[in-house]
């Protein structure tokens, strides 16, 4: 959030987004702008609108996100990667086995190799050398996996650096966390302070 804000307002050498989110509300509801979504009432309070800010960043942007992230779903990082301007879009690093907090531990060699490669390009640009983003490189060892289960598929191979093409589909939660809390709240089955949900009338006023 703060990084994309700074990079959208000032000229910086480069940006690395580590397991980023599209925006605060989109962690709960991937489509808050759709018709009659409960989350739309909070849209004016949305924080860290990275999906809007990343479109205005002109420096190199490198995004990494584990495909097994159960805190910030993987599609957040992938969509931010696609939303980045083509001239600033460096290949993303999306390890298939990594979650939210173990990108380094999953494959240290690949992680630091990708970081080193990006920083090398940033250093060359800072030295006045014209460097084009290697986004058009053909991805290495890409394998599309088709699954019929509701579990998130591993669309990309381990350590894949993707380019411009979408390599497969990735399911999105219907609304909010996959444990169903948001859906239950929407249906009024969860009691929360402030008068929302079953039994709310029995709660003491705040």
- pLDDT for position 40: 64
Distance CA(194)–CA(85), nearest Å, equals 42
pLDDT in tens, 172-184: 444 445 566 656 6
For the cut 80, the answer to whether the pLDDT of residue 126 exceeds it is yes
For the chain, the average pLDDT equals 73
DSSP letter at 177?
Answer: -
- pLDDT for position 178: 57
- pLDDT for position 36: 65
- CB-hemisphere CA count at 13 Å for 160? 24
- pLDDT for position 6: 87
Cβ of 133: how many Cβ atoms within 10 Å? Answer: 20
- pLDDT for position 80: 93
φ/ψ (deg, to 5) at 22: -65, -50
> Which residues does 24 contact at the CB level (< 8 Å), separation at least 6?
46, 47, 48
- pLDDT for position 184: 65
pLDDT in tens, 6-56: 888 888 999 999 999 888 777 776 666 666 666 666 666 667 888 889 999
């Amino acid at each position: 959030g703060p990084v994309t804000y700074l990079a959208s307002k000032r000229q910086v050498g480069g940006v690395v987004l580590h397991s980023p989110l599209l925006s605060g509300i989109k962690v709960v509801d991937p489509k808050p702008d759709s018709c009659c979504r409960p989350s739309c009432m909070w849209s004016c309070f949305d924080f860290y609108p990275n999906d809007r800010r990343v479109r205005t960043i002109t420096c190199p942007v490198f995004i990494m996100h584990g495909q097994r992230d159960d805190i910030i779903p993987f599609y957040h990082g992938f969509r931010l990667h696609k939303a980045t301007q083509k001239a600033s879009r460096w290949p993303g690093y999306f390890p298939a086995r990594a979650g939210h907090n173990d990108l380094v531990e999953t494959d240290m060699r690949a992680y630091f190799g990708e970081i080193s490669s990006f920083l090398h390009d940033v250093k060359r640009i800072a030295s006045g050398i014209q460097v084009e983003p290697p986004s058009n490189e053909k991805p290495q060892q890409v394998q599309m996996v088709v699954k019929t289960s509701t579990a998130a598929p591993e669309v990309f191979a381990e350590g894949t650096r993707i380019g411009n093409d979408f390599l497969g589909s990735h399911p999105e939660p219907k609304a909010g966390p996959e444990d169903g809390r948001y859906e239950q709240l929407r249906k009024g089955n969860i009691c929360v302070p402030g008068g929302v949900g079953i039994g709310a009338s029995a709660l003491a006023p705040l």
